[in-house]
Amino acid sequence: MYVVGTAGHIDHGKSTLVQALTGIDPDRLAEEKERGMTIDLGFAWLTLPSGREISIVDVPGHERFIKNMLAGVGAIDLALLVIAADEGVMPQTEEHLAILELLRVRRAIIALTKIDLVDSDWLALVREDVAARMEESSLADAPIVPVSSVTRIGLPELLVALDAALAETQPREDFGRPRLPIDRVFTVAGFGTVVTGTLIGGSLRVGQEVEIQPGGDRTRVRGLQMHKRKVDVAPPGNRVAVNLTMLATTDLARGQVVTMPGWMRPTRVLDVAIRTLPKARALVHNAVATFHTGSAETVARVQLLDTDLVRPGESCWAQLRLEDPVAVAKGDLFVLRSSDETIGGGEIVDVQPPRHRRKQPAVIDALRLLQRGTPEELVAQAIGRELAPPAEIARRSGLPADAVAEALAQLLASGGAVELGGHYATNVGWGRLVSQATETLASYHRTWPLRAGMPREELKSRLGMQSRLYGLFLDRLAGDGKIVQSETTVRLASHEVRLSAAQEARARSLLAALGADSHSPPALSELVEQFGVEPELLGALIERREIVRLNDSVAYLADTYDELVRRIVGRIRDAGAVTVAEVRDLTGTSRKYALALMEHLDEQKVTRRVGDTRVLR
Ligand SMILES: Nc1nc2c(ncn2[C@@H]2O[C@H](COP(=O)(O)OP(=O)(O)OP(=O)(O)O)[C@@H](O)[C@H]2O)c(=O)[nH]1
Ligand SMILES: [Mg+2]
C-alpha cells in the first residue's frame, strides 16, 4: 500500500477530487461542511486499476491550517498537487510545494483541476505556467494531468498516472523499529481508544506491547485496522488505526508516537542541518520559529552554530531548543515556520546532543560526519562484506581509531556485529559468511554423499579466508554445533554417510571376501571388479575404517590389520628389529603382504627402515 497526500491552495478542489476518486468525503467535520473548506486532515482510500491500494491524506489549503497539513504529509510516498485551472499557481501552491521539497517527497502528480471552468487556450497557458514553475523544483518530472471533478474528465488518466508513478516507488523499508506518529485520537464505541497515523520503520502487530513517546506510557495493541479492515499485522508504509488498551483519549495527542518500548528517548535539544527557502526572510541567531516534524509541532529557538545570519536560500548548522519534547530519530526531516510563512527546514543530525560552543570548526566537522551516519552506522558500512580488522575499518570509515573501537563495542553489545580473532563482521555479513560455508558443505555432501566430509583446504579456498581466521571460523561453527571437523575434513553436523541397500550388499560381499582368507586376502582390484564396488563406495569403506588399504592390491579388514600391527610391533619391541621375511613368517603370509605391511607402517611413521630391517620410530 502507498500513501498519497494532497497539496495545494485553498479551494483549488483537493477534497472534491479525493471524493470524486474514492467516493469518500474527506471533510468529516461539521465545521468543514458548513464553511466549505478543509480544516483538519481527511482520509480516504481506493484501489487503482493495477490493483494497487492507496491511502489518501487530504490536507487543508488554508494558510492558517498549514500546521495540520504538515501533520499529514510527514511520510507520504507521493504528493497529489492540486492546482485549479482558473487560478493557477497561488501562495499556498508555492508554500505546499516548498514543504514537499523540504520533506524530500520525491514524487508528485499535478492535478490541474476545474478545467470545466476554463477554455482550452487558457488551460494551455496555465499548463505552461505550471510546467515552468515545476521545472525549478525538485519535482520537475511530475506529470500534469488536467481534470474536472464535476464532469469527471481526466479522472481515468489521473488513476493511470498514479499507478505509473507508484510503480516506480520503493515500498517503505522495514527496519524492525515501528513508529506511528499519531495524527488523530478518538474513541470507538465498544473498542475504546483509537489512534491513527502513517506507520513507518517497522510493523505493528496485535498483542504487541507499545510505548507512547513523549510521555513513556506503555500499553498494548488491542486491534489494528487498515482501510477499515481488521488486520493482525500492519506493515510499514500504511495508514493504520491502532486500538490501544488502558489509555484514554485524554492521555494521547497528535504529535506523540506509538513505537516499540525502549528505543526512542524524547528530547528538547536537537542538532540539525537547516536549509532556508529562497523566498523566505533571513534567519537570525536565536530566532524563534514553529518546529514541525512527523505529526508533532512545538516552538523552537534556533541557535545558529556556524553563522549569525542565514540569508534566504542558504544552509547552516543549528542547535534547536524546543519548548516541548519530541520523539524523533536521527535523519528525520522537519519544517520551520514563522507565524505567517515557511522559513525552511532540514534534517535532524543528533537527537541527544551536548551543548556546543558556537563557531567551532571542530563542532561543525563532527556534525558533518554525523550527518553521514552515526559512528555505528559508519563502522557497520565500513566493515563491508567480510571480516575486517579495526585498522581497516578506521581507514574505510574515515573515523579515528578510538571512535571505531567505541562503535565496535556498541555494535558487539547490541548484537549488530560479531568478533572473530580481532576481526569484525556485521551480524548480516556474519550470517552471510556462515550460510556460504554451510551451503558449500551441503552442496559438497549432495555431490559426494558417501564422503564423510569436505577437505578442509577446499572449503577454505571456496571461502577465500586466511588460515588463522579460517581455523577460528571453523572452531566457532563447531562450537555452535553447525559443523563437525576432523584433521582433514569438515562436514555439516547433520551429514551422515548412508549407503543404499544395493551399496550395502556390495560392501558386505567385499568385506566377506576380504575376511575369508583374512591374512592373505585376494587382490583388492580384483574384488572391486568382481563385486562392482564403485570408487565412491570403496572410499566410504576406507573412510569409515572398515577396511585399511595398504596399496592398490592389498587391503585388510580393519580388525585383521590392527591384529597384524599389534603382532609386528610386539615383535620389534621384543627383538629390537624385524625383517620382511620375519614378518612374513610371523603373519603366515607371503612376502608380497609382508612387504606391503611394512611399507605401510613406514608411511604411517610407526616403523623406520634401517638396512634390511625395521625398527620402531
Ligand atoms: N466547476 C468545478 N468546481 C469544482 C471542481 N473541483 C472543486 N470544485 C469546487 O471548488 C470548491 C472548493 O473545492 P474543495 O474541494 O473544497 O477545495 P479544497 O482544495 O479541498 O479546499 P481546502 O481544503 O479548503 O483547501 C467547491 O465549491 C467545489 O465544488 C471542479 O473540477 N470543477
Ligand atoms: Mg479540502
DSSP letters, 83-100, are EETTT-S-HHHHHHHHHH
Whether the CB of 62 sits within 6 Å of ligand 1: yes
Pocket test for ligand 1, best of 11, 39, 158 (most atoms within 8 A of CB): 11
Closest CA to 258 of 185, 179, 177: 179
pLDDT tens digits, 297-313? 999 999 999 999 999 99
Q: Does the pLDDT of residue 391 top 80, yes or no?
A: yes
pTM tops 0.85:
no
All three cell numbers of 589:
603370509
Q: At what angle do helices 467-479 and 456-463 cross, to 10 degrees?
A: 110
Q: How far is the CA of 3 from the centre of ligand 1 (A)?
A: 22
Note whether residue 225 is domain-resident: yes
Closest CA to 537 of 562, 577, 507: 507
Task: State how far the Cα of 270 lies from the Cα of 294, in Å rounded to an integer.
Answer: 15
All three cell numbers of 220:
498494548
Query: Do 334 and 409 sit in the same domain of this protein?
Result: no
Task: State how far the Cα of 596 lies from the Cα of 564, in Å rounded to an integer.
Answer: 12
Whether the CB of 60 sits within 6 Å of ligand 1: yes
Query: Do 276 and 340 sit in the same domain of this protein?
Result: yes
Whether the CB of 117 sits within 6 Å of ligand 1: yes
Q: Does the pLDDT of residue 564 top 80, yes or no?
A: yes
pLDDT tens digits, 419-455? 999 999 988 889 989 999 999 999 999 999 989 899 9
Q: How far is the CA of 53 from the centre of ligand 2 (A)?
A: 22
State the average pLDDT over residues 491-515: 93
Give the number of domains in the chain: 5
Note whether residue 448 is domain-resident: no
Whether the CB of 506 sits within 6 Å of ligand 1: no
Whether the CB of 42 sits within 6 Å of ligand 1: no
Is the separation of the CB atoms in 219 and 245 below 8 Å?
yes
Q: State the pLDDT at residue 455.
A: 96
Query: Do 158 and 36 sit in the same domain of this protein?
Result: yes
Task: State how far the Cα of 174 lies from the Cα of 506, in Å rounded to an integer.
Answer: 56
Closest residue (by CA) to atom 10 of ligand 1?
Answer: 13
Q: State the pLDDT at residue 176.
A: 83
Query: Do 342 and 371 sit in the same domain of this protein?
Result: no
Domain of 245, CATH number, reads 2.40.30.10
Closest CA to 14 of 33, 3, 27, 31: 27
Domain of 39, CATH number, reads 3.40.50.300
Note whether residue 51 is domain-resident: yes
Residue 113's domain comprises 2-167
Note whether residue 217 is domain-resident: yes
Query: Do 115 and 185 sit in the same domain of this protein?
Result: no
Closest CA to 304 of 289, 293, 292, 320: 320
Give percent of the chain above pLDDT 90. Answer: 83
Note whether residue 527 is domain-resident: yes
Query: Do 246 and 393 sit in the same domain of this protein?
Result: no
> Looking at 259, 294, 310, which one is the last position of a domain?
259
Note whether residue 593 is domain-resident: yes
Note whether residue 172 is domain-resident: no
Note whether residue 284 is domain-resident: yes
Task: State how far the Cα of 442 lies from the Cα of 436, in Å rounded to an integer.
Answer: 10
Max Cα-Cα span within the chain: 121
Q: State the pLDDT at residue 538.
A: 92
Closest residue (by CA) to atom 1 of ligand 1?
Answer: 114
Closest CA to 456 of 422, 425, 430, 490: 490
Q: How far is the CA of 13 from the centre of ligand 2 (A)?
A: 7
Query: Do 325 and 300 sit in the same domain of this protein?
Result: yes
Q: How far is the CA of 166 from the centre of ligand 2 (A)?
A: 23
Query: Do 154 and 185 sit in the same domain of this protein?
Result: no
All three cell numbers of 594:
609382508
Query: Do 158 and 290 sit in the same domain of this protein?
Result: no
Query: Do 16 and 152 sit in the same domain of this protein?
Result: yes
Query: Do 243 and 336 sit in the same domain of this protein?
Result: no
Whether the CB of 26 sits within 6 Å of ligand 1: no
Query: Do 58 and 101 sit in the same domain of this protein?
Result: yes
Task: State how far the Cα of 92 lies from the Cα of 98, in Å rounded to an integer.
Answer: 9
All three cell numbers of 323:
519548548
Which residues, listed in sequence order, are joined to residue 269 by a DSSP beta bridge? Answer: 321
